[in-house]
Structure 1
Amino acid sequence: MGCGIVFDVGTTAVKTMVFNRHFVVEGSVSVEYRLLAPKKGWLEVDSDCYWEAAKECMRSLRKQLGECLKQVDFVTVTTQGETLIPICAAGRPLRNAIVWLDGRAEEESAFLKERVEKTHFYQVTGIPECTPAVPVCKLMWIKRNEPELYRNTAWFLLVGDYMLYRLTGRVCTERTLMSTTGYYDITQSCLWQEMFDIAGIDRNKIPEILETGERAGEICEEAARELELPLHTAVFACTMDQVACAVGAGNVEDGVVTENAGTCLILAMTAQKAALRPGGNLAFYQHALPGKYLAMTNCPTAGIILKWFKDEFCEREAAMAAEQGTSVYNTLGNLAAGVEPMSRGLILLPHFSGVLQPECASGARGVFFGVTLETGKAQFVRCIMESVGFLLRENLEYLEAEQGIRVKEIRSLGGAAKSRIWEQIKADIVQRDMVHMKEAECTALGAAMIVSVTAGWYEKLEHACNAGNSEVERISFSLENRVAYETGYEKYRNLYRLLKDEF
């Protein structure tokens, strides 16, 4: 029986997973690399690090799996969006990768905002705002500040494109990965010429666009040697990580939302059409399913707030957890479980890095409200967890209102999903069940599912989703805390309204 290999290229690490035809994980390895910050607001990675990390993953997997890797049906890649790598005609990177979080292109962002009306930009790209993170701004920055490098660049690649190039020698990209570039028309599935003209960018420096799951070619001789994989192994183009994650959790039909609460909180819903109304603030990506879209909200700070609180104020709890051989987050969860709903009136606005949805307010900041001399550490912990629950409800209601769809199921992913008390708090606040999936590593799994169709394992993506992941647990909401959280949610919303002008 053959297997499939997925390289999941994230912001700080490459995770490589090997799946069999039943989507059982045969092996998994993660290798980290260092982010570079040469100047304030800049964030880069040595472009070679991505490939070197993939090679190191494969060396470890070979020790784990041995002969299994001689029967590889396919290799594919899913990656972060927006990270940019310029390469020369010989295929060599000309500079460090400019990471998606990089904010250097503020002037270019302002330039484009002045010349492209916001609603027009949104209705073509599905991106609510042309921020410095958008690749078209990064391209302009390179042309303005590194003109010789721009002239010597044959192609501007995203991370996924670069990995496909190293695997096959073919210069190509994939349509969902292009969704957040700022120069791709998501409704027409083509490059947006108007943006190239305004930005002064040569569209011939953008690679050809493949369909999601399309065969990019065979593994080239150099890659086969470096990764120790069979020559002529099929390589397939795959989707960006957020889309892959949704597919891996079975988010391919109306009424299902995936809720991924890690560093940030991301909600994603499959949509039949992109509702790109004037003044809208809901992000839309092309879905892996042709003709469908993924409607998304992104809250920049969620789980990272609890990490911040743990790092700054919970040294004693961390030491106790270390002595007991448990996670400090379990200790904090036990503290929260001993506190009544609404934490004795304590409320947190969790906007430590601004707000993107339901409205964009980059100046918004975190606020603890209702602190008294009786407020203890346990109340702060529960309050943080409840604030993420309120974020979830706020964005869930926004998704439903914008799409005109009642959400029937929330599939919960990310680090917060590991906390039973946190899941119960979220369920009680939104008054919906929180569904846990059998396989929590949904990004690489979703990529394997997508490619399994074109590789011949399954006839349809829906069949692969049914075979690859299923519900393993359901955290049911309680009516007992409904009144407390209805009142608390209204206070949470009112608090933001009152402070909005101050922000």
Structure 2
Amino acid sequence: MSKLLVGIDMGTTALKIAAFDTAGKLLGSATLEYTLYTPQSYFVESDPAVYMDAIEKGFAKLAEKGVPIKDVVALGFSSQSETMFFVDENCKPLRNSISWMDNRAVEQSQRLEKKYGNELCYKHTGQVSWGANWPATKALWVKENEPEVWAKTKKILLIEDFIIYQLTGRYVADCAMLTSTLYWDITTKKYWKLMLDELELTEDYFPEILEPGELVGKILPDMAEKLGLSPDTQICTGAMDNAIGALGVGAYRPGVFSESIGSTLAVCVPTDKVVYDPNQQMPVHYYTMKDTYMMHTFTSGGICMRWFRDKFCQMEKAMAEQLGEDDYNLLTKQAENIPAGSDGLSFLPHLSGSLAPDVNPHATGIFMGITLMHTKGHFIRAIMESLGYLVRRNIDALEAMGLHIDEIRAFGGGSKSPLWNQINADILQRTICVTSSKEAACLGAAILAGYAVGIFDSIEKACDSMVEVIARYEPSSENKAVYDHGYEIYKKMQTDCAQLFEMVNGND
């Protein structure tokens, strides 16, 4: 019997599932989208049932494609970070899950900042501020605004914790997922007593802490039967999607910068120790390997393009369906005809607030410079360019800390676009490398699962043998001046619109 490894990537708007052999060959994959709810501004939720439903359908799709899922020996997870669940004693959700994109807890965030200061937060959690999107602040919001839910809550879980319980009946969490909760201490790798006291909770309300890529146990027999898996299948911890995606493209060495354009735009730089930013702009996270760390931040990314597609590109979606083509390809073709700099059209991509290095939960998206000459293609290209500027802003902050960036590896949906890769190379004036990893986050999860069950001697050796650079995009000096100018506009929009953001949100 061949040994197969499965990686499950639980993203913001879709679940991806992929099966690999032990040499890293992709045997089959499936993608299932799910719906987010936005009941009011800055509230983002989902039905907890959609995740296990997507996993069940995902395994069914793999089986339909001829993947022998009975040969799966282990599965691991790549998960959207911060999305949280409030459950009762039977792990039954008491409300919708609250997405990482949700920024409802501004009042709680401001109160914690005033009470403790951001410096204390940074020292113990690695996060630069008491952000409204972090789980601890949203837990306080639930405590103060939904007392009936809070009274019944027996466990507060992240998405990986919730799914692992469904599969094994065991409450566990991994350090790489807990790293941005604000109730986990990066210096001790334990729950932070100060925040537990603030929440008036004990450690019993949270899962047992494990390392990324650690064995949890065998799948429950009834769940194995439901999913079509062997009852001997082992379930393993994973890590947050952006970190594990970086692992899936081989970005595990210090100095290797990874950028992911999925629903979020995420950047990661691994380090072998905790490195604090003296300017307190860049957060520190736990990485996918024991006692390793990373400088990492993320914000709205490809979801900006999805928003534009869904709201303004119904014709392209209909044409794509009729032609059997990817609708994003039709959007990209329009952007290809637009010159660098989008003829003066600029976009600020903060559709759900902004995170480090420019933290502002009130930030919104802005198109600026619109004239009668601008077409839909201009707007599409401006969105692409805005995310390149955002990556450049992060690189500037990292290099100000003394972290040298040797190499950039791109993954996620955006990396499949040659145009988008070239735009990023030109904006960053650096080579962009794309690897053979077709499903980087799923592959990273599979690598960790294989390591957890002893198939691989080390994570490093697995990456070196399974990941190959297949394309390089060299920067064009021809576009340097226009993009340098566009970057200055981007930064000025960010700073000069801060007061407007407050006014739009009724806080001024």
Paired residues of 1:77 and 1:163 also in contact (CA < 8 A): no
- Matched residue type, 1:399: L
Distance in 1, matches of 2:260 and 2:278, equals 27
Deviation of the 1:379 alpha carbon: 4.2
Partner of residue 83, structure 1: 83
Aligned CA distance change for structure 1 residues 13 and 449 (closer, same or farther; 3 Å):
same
CA distance in 2 between counterparts of 1:446 and 1:331 reads 30
Paired position in structure 1 for 2:262: 262
Taking the aligned partners of 1:466 and 1:353, their CA distance within structure 2 comes to 36
- Residue 419 to residue 75, structure 1, CA distance change in 2 (3 Å): closer
Equivalent in 429, 432, 437 of residue 431 of structure 1: 429
CA offsets 1:256-288 (integer angstroms, 9 cap, x no match): 111112344221111233333465121221011
Residue identity matched to 2:160: G
Alpha-carbon distance in structure 1 between the residues aligned to 2:40 and 2:466: 44
Q: 1:492: how far off?
A: 4.0
Q: Deviations over 1:97-118 (max 9, x none)?
A: 3333334434433432332211
Q: Alpha-carbon deviation of 1:363?
A: 4.0
Matched AA of 2:28: G
Contact 1:287 1:294 in 2 (8 A): yes
Distance 2:105 2:495 in 1: 31
Secondary structure of 1:77's partner? strand
Choose from 435, 441, 444 the match for 1:443: 441
Report whether the alignment pairs 1:52 with 2:53. Answer: yes
Distance 1:495 1:33 in 2: 33
CA-CA distance at 1:37 after TM superposition = 4.7
Shift in Å, 1:428: 1.4
CA distance in 2, matches of 1:375, 1:82: 38
18-27 or 88-97: bigger deviation = 88-97
What residue ranges of structure 1 are gaps of 5+ in the alignment?
none
Letter in 2 for 1:129: S
Is 1:35 the equivalent of 2:67? no
Residue 21 of structure 1 pairs with residue 22 of structure 2: yes
1:370-389 correspondence runs (5 A):
370-389=369-388
In the other structure, the counterpart of 2:505 is: none
Q: Secondary structure at the match of 2:447?
A: helix
Report the alpha carbon displacement of residue 197 of structure 1 after superposing the two structures with TM.
Answer: 1.2
What CA distance in whole angstroms lies between the structure 2 residues aligned with 1:442 and 1:92? 32
| Cα distance change, pair 391–137 in 1 and its aligned pair in 2 (3 A) | closer
Structure 2 SS opposite 1:92: coil
Aligned residue identity for 2:56: K
CA distance in 2, matches of 1:430, 1:437: 19
What's the secondary structure of 2:415's corresponding residue?
Answer: helix
SS in structure 1 at match of 2:398: helix
What displacement does 1:62 show? 2.9
Change (3 A) 1:421 1:20: same
Which residue of structure 2 lines up, in the alignment, with residue 357 of structure 1? 356
Query: Does the alignment pair 1:217 with 2:212?
Result: no
SS at match of 2:66: helix
Render the CA deviation track for 1:336-366: whole Å, top value 9, x for unaligned.
4344433444444444544323322344444
Deviation at 1:308, TM superposition (A): 4.6
User: What are the within-5 Å matches in structure 2 for residues 450-489 of structure 1?
Assistant: 450-489=448-487
Identity of aligned residues (%): 34
Equivalents in 1 of 2:453, 2:76: separation in Å? 11
Q: Which residue of 2 aligns with 1:390?
A: 389
Residue 453 of structure 1 aligns to which amino acid in structure 2? Y
Using the alignment, how far apart are the partners of 1:60 and 1:75 within structure 2? 16
Measure the CA separation in 2 of the matches of 1:91 and 1:350: 36
Change (3 A) 1:148 1:116: same
Q: Is the 8 A contact 2:103 2:353 kept in 1?
A: no
Q: Cα deviations across residues 406-439 of structure 1 (Å, max 9, x unaligned)? A: 2121111223223222222221121111111112
Residues 81-160 of structure 1: pairs in structure 2 closer than 5 A: 81-147=81-147, 149-160=149-160
**Does the 8 Å contact 1:140/1:200 carry over to 2?**
no
Q: Corresponding residue for 2:400?
A: 401
Check 1:291–1:15 CA distance in 2 against 1; reply closer, same or farther (3 A cut). Answer: same
Q: Report Cα offsets for 1:150-197 as digits up to 9, x if no partner.
A: 444332222211221122222221111111211101122111111111
**What is the DSSP-based 3-state SS (H/G/I as helix, E as strand, rest coil) of the residue aligned with 1:474?**
strand
Does the Cα contact within 8 Å between 2:76 and 2:448 map onto a contact in 1?
A: no
SS in 1 for 2:131: coil
Letter in 2 for 1:427: A
Once the two structures are TM-superposed, the CA of residue 314 in structure 1 deviates from its matched residue by 5.3
Report if aligned partners of 1:220, 1:232 keep a CA contact under 8 Å in 2: no
- The structure-2 alpha-carbon separation of the partners of 1:346 and 1:72, relative to structure 1 and needing over 3 Å to count, comes to closer
SS at match of 1:180: coil
Shift of 1:483: 3.2
Structure 1 distance, partners of 2:357, 2:280, is: 9
Local SS of the residue matching 2:454: coil
Q: CA deviation at 1:368?
A: 4.3
Q: What do you get for the CA RMSD once the two structures are aligned? A: 2.8
- Equivalents in 2 of 1:371, 1:264: separation in Å? 25
The answer as to whether partners of 1:449 and 1:464 remain within 8 angstroms in 2 is yes
| 8 Å Cα contact 2:132/2:361 also seen in 1 | no
Flag the 1:60–1:379 CA change in 2: closer, same or farther, 3 A.
closer
1:177 maps to 2:177: yes
Letter of the aligned partner of 2:238 in structure 1?
C
Q: How many residues of Structure 1 are paired with residues of Structure 2 in the alignment?
A: 500
State the distance in 2 between where 1:476 and 1:147 align.
55
Worse overlay, 482-491 or 163-172: 482-491
Give the residue type in structure 2 aligned to 1:8: D
Larger deviation, residues 170-179 vs 37-46:
37-46
Mapped contact 1:5–1:76 kept (Cα < 8 A): yes
How is 1:4-15 mapped onto 2 (pairs within 5 angstroms)?
A: 4-15=5-16
Larger radius of gyration: 1
Maintained 8 Å contact 1:79/1:160 = yes
Distance 1:92 1:15 in 2: 24
For the 8 Å contact 2:285–2:294, the answer to whether it is kept is yes
Say if 2:264 is the partner of 1:247: no
Deviation at 1:367, TM superposition (A): 4.4
Cα displacement (A) at 1:312: 5.4
Q: Report the AA paired with residue 25 of structure 1.
A: L
Question: In 2, distance between residues paired with 1:311 and 1:234?
Answer: 39
| CA deviation after TM superposition for structure 1 residue 24, in Å | 1.4
Find the aligned partners of 1:148 and 1:310 in 2 and give their Cα distance. 39
